[in-house]
Amino acid sequence: MKYMLLIYSNAESWAGLSAEQRDGLAEAHESLSRELTEQGLLVSAAGLADPITTRTVQVRDETINTTDGPYAEAKEHLAGFYLIDVASEERAIEIAAKVPEAALGLVEVRPARSLDLSEW
């Protein structure tokens, strides 16, 4: 089953890190991505651009409305993700615990559904 590991970060926490700590986080992500790839578990992974670049889109009465920035007002923001394909939720949680931000912010583990409605 596929799981999204949604990585949440906090700008204040990030600002408080030294250059060495930031480099360590990048190296930890590279290591985790390599490990998951070697095990055949990684489907996709990416970091996301700064929340200031976010655009929120809504369609109401066939009119497209956009706003700048993330919709939710919170200190934490979605910073990246891993999409993995593993046998169980327990395995997904084990992997989520290896994501560096699990120690700084949080990592949400969420099953990813197929777009095939017959599988729902």
pLDDT tens-digit series, residues 71-116 = 556 667 888 999 999 999 999 999 999 999 998 888 999 999 877 7
Is 80 exceeded by the pLDDT of residue 43?
A: yes
* Owning domain of residue 92: 2-113
Res 7: pLDDT? 93
Res 83: pLDDT? 96
Res 71: pLDDT? 58
Range with lowest mean pLDDT among 8-17, 33-42, 98-107: 8-17
Say if 11 falls within a structural domain. Answer: yes
- Angle ∠(11,14,20) on CA atoms, nearest 5: 165
**pLDDT tier at 14, thresholds 50, 70, 90:** confident
Say if 120 falls within a structural domain. Answer: no
CATH (domain of 31): 3.30.70.1060
- What is the chain's mean pLDDT, rounded? 88
- Using DSSP, state whether 14 is helix, strand or coil: helix
Percentage with pLDDT > 70 across the chain: 91
Say if 119 falls within a structural domain. Answer: no
Say if 118 falls within a structural domain. Answer: no
Find the mean pLDDT for residues 37-53. 92
Q: What is the pTM of this model?
A: 0.82
Which candidate, 114, 86, 102, 78, places its Cα nearest to that of 28?
Answer: 102
Which candidate, 1, 17, 119, places its Cα nearest to that of 9?
Answer: 17
Say if 84 falls within a structural domain. Answer: yes
Q: 85-99 b/e with 16+ CB inside 10 Å = b?
A: ebeeeeebeebbebb
> For residue 75, what are its two tokens?
């200190």
Q: In the chain, how many domains are there?
A: 1
Say if 89 falls within a structural domain. Answer: yes
